[in-house]
Structure formats: C-alpha cells, structure tokens
Amino acid sequence: MEEILRKLVAFPTVTGDSQAAHELIEFVTDFVRRRGMHIERYVANGYESLVATTKPGDKKPAVMLAAHGDVVKAPDELFELRKQDGKLIGRGVLDMKCALAAFLQVIDDIQDDLQAYSLGLMVTMDEEIGGFNSMPQLVAEGYRPKVCVLPDGGDNWQIQVASKGILIYKITAHGRSSHSSRHWEGDNALKKLLPVLPQLESLFPSQGKDTNTMSLNNISGGSVFTQVPNRAQAIFDVRTVTSAEHRRLQKAIPQICAKNNVECTLEASGEPTSFDLQDPYIAPFVALIEKVTGVEVKGVRTLATNDARFLAPFGIPCISFYPKGGGHHSPLEWVDVKAFEQMGAILHQYIEQIAKTTPTITTVPKITKAKKPASTILRLRRRLVKN
Amino acid sequence: MPTTPNLPANFTNTAQRLLAIESIASQPAQLQAALDAYEQLLYKGCTIERFVSGGKPSLLAYNTPQRPTTFTAILNGHVDVVPGTLEQFKPHIKDGRLYGRGAYDMKVAALLLLYAFNQVAPTTSQPIALQLVTDEEVGGTHGTAYQIKRGVRGEIVVVGEKTDLAINNEAKGIVWATFQAQGKAGHSAYQWEAKNANNALIASLQALLDVYPELSQETWRTSVNIAHLFTPNTTPNSVPDYAEAKVDIRYVASDSNFAGKTNADVKAFLDTFCLPGVQANVDMTGAAQFVEPTNHHISRLRSIVSDLTGQSVPLIQKHGTTDARHYAAVDVPAVVFGISGDGIHADNEYADLGSCITYYQTICNFLSGIPANNINDI
C-alpha cells in the first residue's frame, strides 16, 4: 500500500495540471482494469474523472469509494514520498492520496472474488478548486451509491458529522490606465478594489471554528511599474456555519460590492451539510475505527468542505474522516505510518461487511470463521444486522 | 548682440532620413545605425569619444583636444525611440508638421542640438559638448548615467526633451519598490492556523497610502501608484503564503523622505509602513531634478527665447523623468528645453517645424553668449 501511495504522490497533480491529472487517471484505470473492474471515464470542463465498478455500468453500488486525486501547489520535492519518524510525508498524503492508495489496495485484495462485491471507485481531479466540475457531473450521470466513503475531512479518525458551507467569490474592479507619473489621469482599479475588502471583512466580526469566516486568497491587478492598473480582482473563500447564515451572506456580499461599483461573481457555493453517526451505513464504520484504532469516535464538525456536499442532497450518507496526520495544504503534510495501515484494514473490513452481495454474505461466516476464528468482522456484522 | 543663424537648407530631408531609422531598444543594430548617422553630421575637427555599456552605444563630441574636467555646457539628446507603427518610420511633412516616430521625442531636437553645436563649437573659447545616447527610453543607465560615471561633468546641461519651448527646471524623482509579504500557507477553512500574506501586504500598502493619498488632480506633491499586486496562489481554498506589490513613487525634490537619500535609506523608510512578514525592496531610484529658477543659465535661456518669440517663457514642472535626473544625482544643474509638437509615444507623433527654427537659434545664442569668465579648467 505504501508503494501505491509512493506512485500516487509522484504524480504532480496540482489542480488544473491536466497532463498530470490524465497520467494519474490512466494509472488508476490500468490498475483497476487489470483487477477486473469496469471503467467509465468522464471529462467536464477539461477535468477528467473516472468511475470503476465491480459490475459493468453499475450506477448504484452498495459502497462507493470516492477520492480526489488533485492536490494543492507544492515545491517539487514534496512530490516524492518521504518516510521519517513514523510519518509519511509528501504533498497530498493526507489530502487525500492515502485514501486513494487504500482504496486501490482493497481492490487488489478482493480481485479474485470481485463479483461478490457491489463496489465502486470514483476519482475526480478538481476538488481543491471547489469540485464543481466532476462530482456534480457524476451525480447528474445518476450515480447513487447506498453509502459513499470519502475520507476527506474530520480529524484524527473523527468522522465528519457536520461541515461548514462554502462560498467562493471573485470580485473585479474596472478602472482606466494611465502613466504612473500622472495617475490622476487614470483610475486605479486596485485602489477601487482595496477599500471594498475591509467592508466585506466587517461581515465577519470573529473568525473561528464556530463562526463564519472569510479568507482573501488571491488578489491581482496591474503589471508594470509605469502603468496604472485598469483591472483588479480578488478571490476569497467564505465558510458558513448554518444554512440561514449561508443565505444571509450570499445576499450581503454582492450588496456591498454593488454599492462600491465592483463586479461580484459567485464562483462556487455549497450549503453546510450534516451526517448522523447512527446512520446504518455509518455506524459500522464507526465501530471499525474504534475497534482497529482504539480511538473513540464522537463525530466532529469540520470547517472545510468536500465533495460530500454534492451527494448529501440525495440522501447518500458520506463517511468523511482523516487518519492520524496533519499539515494538509502546508509544506509538511504527513500521515502516520501506522494509521495509514489501519485505514487500509478498516476499509477492507467495511467492504466485507457492507459491499459484499447477499448471496455471498451467507457463505462468509463459514469462510471467515475458518480463517479467523475470533473475527471482529463477524461480530460487527451481527451488530449491523441488529441495527 | 546675438546672431540669428539659419538652419542648414537640407534640415528637413536630413531629419526625415534620421526618423526612418527604427532605433528601438529591441534592435541594437538600428540604435548603432542612428548614432552613426548623427556622428557623420558632426563638424570635422571635433573630438569624439565613443562609449558602450550594456550593449548601448553613446557618444560625446567636444571642441577641445582632451575632455575637460567640466564642460561649460553639455547638450544632451537621445536618438532611441519607443516602438511605433510601420507608417511612423516613413516620416512626412504636412501643414508645417513633421510626422514620424521620434519627431517630438526627440530625434529632431537631437539634430537641432547637433547643428547648434556645429555652429558654435568651432569658434567659441568655451569647452562645450554634445552628448548623444541610445537608451533614454529604457532608463538611461547605459547612456547618460554611464558617461557621468566615466567622469563627464558640465556647469549646465540642456536636455532636449520636448517642452514646447518652455523651460523645465524641476521634475519628480522616482522610486520603484517591490513590497514582498511572506505568510504561512494553509487551508482557508482553518485560516487561524495559517498566516495570510495578502492581509499583511494590503495593510502595509494602506499605511503607505494613508501618508501619500491618491492625487485626484495634478498637484506638485509626491504621488504613489500601486502598479501591480500579485498572489501566486490560485487555489481558492488555500491561504496564500506569499504576495507582492510593485509600487511606483514619484517624489518632489522637497520631500526629504526620498530626496537625496540612498537606496538603503529609502528601503528603511518604506519598511516603516510594513507589518511583520512584509518588507520593501528598492528596485530603482532616480533623483528628483531641481534647478533654482534664479540660476543664471535659466535666466539667460528664458530671455533668449522670449527675445526671439516676443513671449514670456514659463518654467514648468514635470511628473515624469528624463535623463536630466542622472545629472541631478551628481548635483550638476540640468534643465530640459525642447521643441513643440504632440503625440508622444502615440501614433500621431509630430514636431512643429516653426518651433525648430526658434529652438536652433536659442541654443546657438545660448552657447555663444556664455560669459567668458566662467570656469575653464582644461
């Protein structure tokens, strides 16, 4: 599994690098096809994605394993997996190539008995810029799994029970160029844009875990010293705590922009989502995490958003978590070596419980019993049946 | 009494031949060709020093066997031009205007300075020089500034940039600075774990703008233009760890925060506006040009022009810079005085031919009438 992760990390799949994205999709396609999976490939606005299923053209598998293969920008050296002090370090190891590696490992493990599983694998390449191209397209194609495992959120095995909503805005100010030495003959677009920012920030009096937040992530305008910029733009990321707040800000932000004569476009929007740990498809996963890692799963409200928000409106429970690790989007992104192995084990056991089709399930106890007398899988499955 | 010499009969033909040479920065061979064409027009017997720096040729012609420590007067012109349309390099005359790229800025004036030099230099007892360069449009570092570095000095320098026969004794100085903000990257849903480079950068720029607010109209004050803001991060949900801004500052000679300061001083001053994690780097500075209105050379120049035109000659200020700033940096008084015309850096650039005669006669009279009791330390 570590070798798979090493290969995945080596693809410099920064969102928008279509060549690297294509190579990763090709790698995954080849990997799962050799193991008997059936592949559907999609492209939306230049972003490739793939769905592989154990049964040809199956849009409603019991379990969908979903991962995004894109990562945020990083220096070249982060695209080489490093192992140090019990940590695997590299761009995307936590967010979320470790999950993709574990998925591929599970498929590799079950390849000899693939037809006994109702299982799918989804890989998209645009999550880090909001995921607005691929997952909505796949949902529109009709993919409706019973449950989606999407380990892209939460913290240290805590499953995400609620996530903040997201609003990505791009605001643009238009001005008029002139020579820098006579700037009063022009109209500096940057100077029009900058005063809008504090007004927007005033909508976010405190920025923390339990509040709406705003982050100014890109601002650009102008080019050379000698010219007054005629265009300036800013991109900012807003996180909302409730649907009501989400809608309030969605009104207030464009109003402030309009008042300042600055163009405002909503680049992305996703309402806050919530999932229940008692959900019949989530509860077994909780039990497995607790069994394998010893960590008590209480659920966590995460502040980031992920592709789960596109599935939630269809009543599809999504299991989002991160194994022990940290530093996602930062230069020291890492996943704990042991946690990575545990993740593989948990996923495998979950697939055995949930994705195995009914006729085979009846025979499983005997087989499993023979191999593993005191199988946790069995105990958990009984618990699931009771639930 | 001042003489009133006439322009050489073939002036307009010669001017058109010079304007047809596409002497733009990206064509070094044409820069050389233009400079050579001017050199061939110099009177026989003058001394010519040729310079090359950074691939930019320039020359200094004078009327003494060796270069003196200080010339009584230096005439300065540039023969490079900004890029133009193909048509602009096919000059033509219409309604008393000579059209073509460089007609106004400033190949025609450079030719007139050369004619005036040819007229006066062979006979005057004063050491005078003509300085022709080919890099003014790209900063003047390798032309005028280079010759100054090699020791060229004058008691007064007349730079022939366009002024419509007015006299420009004061120009703003220039500072180009890049503000760089270093933060800490992170996911913007957890922004408190990161440090947003944009926020620190914008707050620093705002502090600078609070002291130097945007000018809503032409005002003789230091001006600040935020010319460029750039965040390399393009991921909408990542907090940027780096951002930078390019700032163009034009300062007046009386602004002691900039005037007469070293680059290190200017950096230290700009750093006072910077929040932690932000720093200012000075990319380029140019001295503010200022010659006292009472300077006797200025007085003479003004009276010569007004004698010829019958009109009073205004002293003007310039927000932009010329090669005069390189002399200002070494405390050599430099004034800018040029012909009339319009369309600078535009498609309809032209020189007003009527002003050319006045200009030529003014420079001749100015050079020949320089009082003999001035420094002369050949």
Each residue's pLDDT tens digit, A136-163:
999 999 999 999 999 998 889 999 888 8
What is each CA distance from A252 to A202, A240, A263, B224, in whole angstroms? 11, 13, 14, 32
- Is the confidence at residue B203, as pLDDT, over 80? yes
- Is the confidence at residue B373, as pLDDT, over 50? no
Per residue in B4-25, pLDDT (tens digit) is: 688 999 999 999 999 999 999 9
Check if B289 contacts A (Cβ < 8 Å): no
Q: State residue A300's pLDDT score.
A: 87
Percent of chain A's residues with pLDDT above 90 = 73
- 3-state SS of B82-106? CCCCHHHHCCEEECCEEECCCCCCC
Structure tokens at A214: 């705003």
Half-sphere exposure of A97 toward its Cβ, with a 13 Å CA cutoff?
Answer: 35
Residue corresponding to tokens 């499955």: A381
Residues forming a β-bridge with A236: A169, A216
**Strands of the B92-94 sheet, one edge to the other:** B92-94, B97-99, B350-352, B341-342
Give the distance from residue B318's alpha carbon to the nearest chain A alpha carbon, in angstroms. Answer: 9
Per residue in B131-149, pLDDT (tens digit) is: 999 999 888 999 999 999 9
**Residue B356, C-beta contacts closer than 8 angstroms, at least 6 positions apart:** B7, B11, B108, B112, B339
Give the distance from residue B74's alpha carbon to the nearest chain A alpha carbon, in angstroms. Answer: 27
Check if A361 contacts B (Cβ < 8 Å): no
Q: Which residues 331-360 in chain A show a CB within 8 A of chain B?
A: 331
Cβ contact B205–A194 (<8 Å): yes
**Residue B3, C-beta contacts closer than 8 angstroms, at least 6 positions apart:** B364, B365, B368
Q: State residue A327's pLDDT score.
A: 87
Closest to A234 in 3D by CA, of A219, A222, A217:
A219
- 3-state SS of chain A? CHHHHHHHHHCCCECCCHHHHHHHHHHHHHHHHHCCCEEEEEEECCEEEEEEECCCCCCCCCEEEEEECCECCCCHHHHCCEEECCEEECCCHHHHHHHHHHHHHHHHHCHHHHHHECEEEEEECCHHHCCCCHHHHHHHCCCCCCEEECCCCCECCECEEEECEEEEEEEEEECECCEHHHHHHCECHHHHHCCHHHHHHCCCCCCCCCCCEEEEEEEEEECCCCECCCEEEEEEEEEECCHHHHHHHHHHHHHHHHHCCCEEEEEEEECCEECCCCCCCCHHHHHHHHHHHCCCCCCEEECCCCCHHHHHHHCCCEECCCCCEECCCCCCCEEEHHHHHHHHHHHHHHHHHHCECHHHHHHHHHHHHHHCCCCHHHHHHHHHHHC
pLDDT-based confidence at A329, cuts 50/70/90? confident
Q: State residue B5's pLDDT score.
A: 82
Q: Rounded CA gap, B27 and A192, in Å? A: 39
Chain A residues whose beta carbon lies within 8 Å of the beta carbon of residue B190:
303-304
- Is the confidence at residue A379, as pLDDT, over 70? no
Phi, psi of B256 (to 5 degrees): -75, -10
ipTM for the predicted complex: 0.72
Chain A residues whose beta carbon lies within 8 Å of the beta carbon of residue B206:
194
Per residue in A169-218, pLDDT (tens digit) is: 999 999 988 888 888 889 999 999 999 999 999 999 998 888 999 999 99
Q: Rounded CA gap, A75 and B310, in Å? A: 70
Q: State residue A251's pLDDT score.
A: 97
Cβ contact B243–A219 (<8 Å): yes
Assign B324 to helix, strand or coil: helix
Q: Are strands B154-159 and B334-337 parallel, antiparallel or unpaired?
A: parallel
**∠ CA B143-B177-B216 to the nearest 5 degrees?**
100
- Is the confidence at residue A375, as pLDDT, over 70? no
Q: State residue B159's pLDDT score.
A: 98
Q: Of B198, B223, B237, B317, which to mutate for an interface test with A (greatest number of A Cβ within 10 Å)?
A: B237
**Residue A126, C-beta contacts closer than 8 angstroms, at least 6 positions apart:** A15, A47, A68, A70, A132, A133, A134
Phi, psi of A205 (to 5 degrees): -65, -35
Q: Which residues 222-251 in chain A show a CB within 8 A of chain B?
A: 222-229, 232, 235, 237, 239
Check if B101 contacts A (Cβ < 8 Å): no
Percent of chain B's residues with pLDDT above 90 = 86
Q: Rounded CA gap, B241 and B226, in Å? A: 20
Half-sphere exposure of B58 toward its Cβ, with a 13 Å CA cutoff?
Answer: 27
Structure tokens at B211: 């002291």
Cβ–Cβ < 8 Å for A282, A351 = no
Check if A75 contacts B (Cβ < 8 Å): no
> Would you give the DSSP letter of residue B190?
G
Q: State residue A378's pLDDT score.
A: 35
- Is the confidence at residue B234, as pLDDT, over 50? yes
Cβ–Cβ < 8 Å for B63, B46 = yes
Per residue in B76-120, pLDDT (tens digit) is: 999 999 888 999 999 999 999 999 999 999 999 999 999 999 999
What is each CA distance from A112 to A1, A54, A156, B355, in whole angstroms? 18, 12, 32, 94
What is each CA distance from B113 to B33, B157, B314, B356, in whole angstroms? 19, 12, 21, 10
Closest to A132 in 3D by CA, of A97, A167, A172:
A167
**∠ CA A216-A220-A225 to the nearest 5 degrees?**
140
Q: How far from the centroid of its chain's Cα atoms is residue A294's Cα?
A: 25
Give the residue from chain A lying closest to B225, CA to CA.
Answer: A180
Closest to A117 in 3D by CA, of A130, A103, A128, A100:
A103
Chain B residues whose beta carbon lies within 8 Å of the beta carbon of residue A171:
none
Q: Of B175, B214, B224, B225, which to mutate for an interface test with A (greatest number of A Cβ within 10 Å)?
A: B225
Q: How far from the centroid of its chain's Cα atoms is residue B334's Cα?
A: 11
Per the document, the length of chain B is 378
Q: Are strands B350-352 and B341-342 parallel, antiparallel or unpaired?
A: antiparallel
**Residue A141, C-beta contacts closer than 8 angstroms, at least 6 positions apart:** A42, A59
Q: Which residues 317-346 in chain B show a CB within 8 A of chain A?
A: 319-321
Per residue in A243-269, pLDDT (tens digit) is: 899 999 999 999 999 999 999 999 988
pLDDT-based confidence at A365, cuts 50/70/90? very low
Q: Rounded CA gap, A299 and A302, in Å? A: 9
Q: State residue B372's pLDDT score.
A: 53
Per residue in A257-308, pLDDT (tens digit) is: 999 999 999 998 888 888 899 999 999 999 999 999 999 999 988 766 788 8
Chain A residues whose beta carbon lies within 8 Å of the beta carbon of residue B321:
181
Q: Rounded CA gap, B143 and B355, in Å? A: 27
Per residue in A22-37, pLDDT (tens digit) is: 999 999 999 999 999 9
Cis peptide bond N-terminal to A64, omega within 30: no
Q: State residue A50's pLDDT score.
A: 97
Percent of chain B's residues with pLDDT above 70 = 97
Structure tokens at A231: 């265009």
Average pLDDT over residues A318-326: 93
Give the residue from chain B lying closest to A331, CA to CA.
Answer: B185
CA atoms A270, A275, A280, A284: torsion sign: positive
Neighbours of B212 (CB within 10 A): 19
Cβ–Cβ < 8 Å for B15, B341 = no
- Is the confidence at residue B374, as pLDDT, over 90? no
Phi, psi of A49 (to 5 degrees): -150, 165
pLDDT-based confidence at B3, cuts 50/70/90? low
Chain A residues whose beta carbon lies within 8 Å of the beta carbon of residue B205:
194
Q: Residue B107 burial by CB count (10 A; 0-12/13-18/19+): exposed, middle or buried?
A: buried
Mean model confidence pLDDT for chain A: 89
- Is the pLDDT higher at B377 or at B214? B214
CA atoms B254, B259, B265, B271: torsion sign: positive
Q: Rounded CA gap, A323 and A152, in Å? A: 10
Give the H/E segment covering residue B148.
Answer: helix B144-149
Assign B122 to helix, strand or coil: coil
Q: Rounded CA gap, B343 and A61, in Å? A: 71
CA atoms B351, B356, B362, B365: torsion sign: positive
Q: Rounded CA gap, A41 and A138, in Å? A: 10
Q: Are strands B238-239 and B167-171 parallel, antiparallel or unpaired?
A: unpaired
Give the distance from residue B240's alpha carbon to the nearest chain A alpha carbon, in angstroms. Answer: 6
Cβ–Cβ < 8 Å for B350, B99 = yes
